[in-house]
Amino acid sequence: MNQGAVAVAGVDIGGTNIKVALVDPTSGRLVERQSFKTMAERGPEAVVQDLSVCLRELSRRAGARGFRIAGVGVGCAGIIDSRYGLVLTSPNLPGWVRFPLGPLLATDLQLPVTVGNDVDCIGCGEYWLGAGRDLGDFLGIALGTGVGGCLIIGGRAWSGAGGSAGEVGHMTIEPGGERCLCGNRGCLETLASASWLVRRAKEQLRRGSPSRLDATRGALDAETIYHAAMDGDRLAVELFAQVGKSLAIAIANVIHLLGIRGVVIGGGSAQAWEAFIGPLQEELTRRLTMAPVAEVRIVRAELGDDAGCLGAVYLASDQFDLF
């Protein structure tokens, strides 16, 4: 029995699921965990109420094992004002506009609560217990439906004015490129995200590119394209080469600006690592002229789905001195 032991709650709020973990901040060991559906269409208040209920239940279970919750860290998709715990806007959570998530939870639970951006939390998690452990300062890239990013500098997420830092997905890579959802043209996201990869594959197939991929039979997704690339399908190989090259251009730009040497790539599409890392390294060697490419370490994220919760624990433990 760990009488009087401290646990910190880490919450990862996504558009579909909310994951909660209670973690011992000194060891990073998981004490309790639970997840539930967000059902964001009910509005933010209902979601916060569910979260409070879940945290109380976990707190009760942890209490029976001798743990006391000392604070709560929350990672949430969107633009976050972490000073006041506000969710300013969130693409996956309709209606969350200037929503005081942190203050509401803190009042409800009578605990200190801190809120950060979800990708910043993933970066913090990897820094604390994952692929970023020995990297020092690094750029984190989350490859998925979109392309998220974070900067971990001095062991903290550098969020910049208005939480706007680290948006590597909207760095211009192709000046006259396709229009991104953000309004700009040729963003990294239009060249390296899973949704755009699929879109490009379909386009090329319509134009008659020879490939074993078939957009008419079943759903064509990034995973199918990855397997085709691994089997040597030329179109699929070229599509992933484009992903790797575009990532390399963005990474070279960031390294030239910040002088960092580490990059952690995670997210669902990082599973296609073997299909893009070769072209990425090659292009990086060409693009990186002001820093020795041999010193740059590009590594795959290690914590998977747990990174968000663990990073939120790190965020809270760091902020409330709970380590």
- Among residues 13, 187, 241, 288, the one that binds Zn ion under rule CB under 5 A: 187
Q: How far is the CB of 177 from Zn ion (least distance, A)?
A: 10
Q: Which is nearer to Zn ion, 34 or 184 (CB)?
A: 184
Stretch that binds Zn ion, among 95-103, 175-183, 231-239, 248-256 (CB under 5 A): 175-183
Q: What does the alpha-carbon distance between residue 197 and residue 191 come to, in Å, rounded to a whole number?
A: 7
170 binds Zn ion (CB under 5 A): yes
192 binds Zn ion (CB under 5 A): no
97 binds Zn ion (CB under 5 A): no
Burial 55-80 (b: 16+ CB within 10 A, else e): beebbeebeeeebebbbbbbbbbbbb
180 binds Zn ion (CB under 5 A): yes
Q: Which is nearer to Zn ion, 180 or 251 (CB)?
A: 180
Nearest CA to 137 out of 162, 157, 119, 120 is that of 157
Classify the C-alpha dihedral 114-118-119-122 as positive or negative.
positive
182 binds Zn ion (CB under 5 A): yes
Q: Which is nearer to Zn ion, 71 or 267 (CB)?
A: 267
184 binds Zn ion (CB under 5 A): yes
Number of residues this chain uses to bind Zn ion (CB under 5 A): 5
Burial 173-184 (b: 16+ CB within 10 A, else e): beeebeebeeee
Q: How far is the CB of 280 from Zn ion (least distance, A)?
A: 20
Residue in the structure block whose two tokens are 């942190």 = 102
Q: What does the alpha-carbon distance between residue 131 and residue 195 come to, in Å, rounded to a whole number?
A: 26
Task: Please answer whether residues 100 and 46 qualify as being in contact, where contact means their C-beta atoms are separated by less than 8 angstroms.
Answer: no
Q: Which is nearer to Zn ion, 39 or 182 (CB)?
A: 182
Burial (CB < 10 A; 0-12, 13-18, 19+), residue 269, is buried
Q: What does the alpha-carbon distance between residue 81 and residue 320 come to, in Å, rounded to a whole number?
A: 17
Binding-site string for Zn ion from residue 117 to residue 156, where x marks contact by CB under 5 A and - marks none: ----------------------------------------
Q: Which is nearer to Zn ion, 31 or 180 (CB)?
A: 180
Q: How far is the CB of 41 from Zn ion (least distance, A)?
A: 26
Task: Please answer whether residues 126 and 311 qualify as being in contact, where contact means their C-beta atoms are separated by less than 8 angstroms.
Answer: yes
Stretch that binds Zn ion, among 119-127, 185-193, 196-204, 314-322 (CB under 5 A): 185-193
Q: Which is nearer to Zn ion, 125 or 148 (CB)?
A: 148
Nearest CA to 56 out of 98, 22, 27, 94 is that of 22
Q: Which is nearer to Zn ion, 21 or 77 (CB)?
A: 77
Q: How far is the CB of 181 from Zn ion (least distance, A)?
A: 6
Q: Which residues bind Zn ion (CB under 5 A)?
A: 170, 180, 182, 184, 187
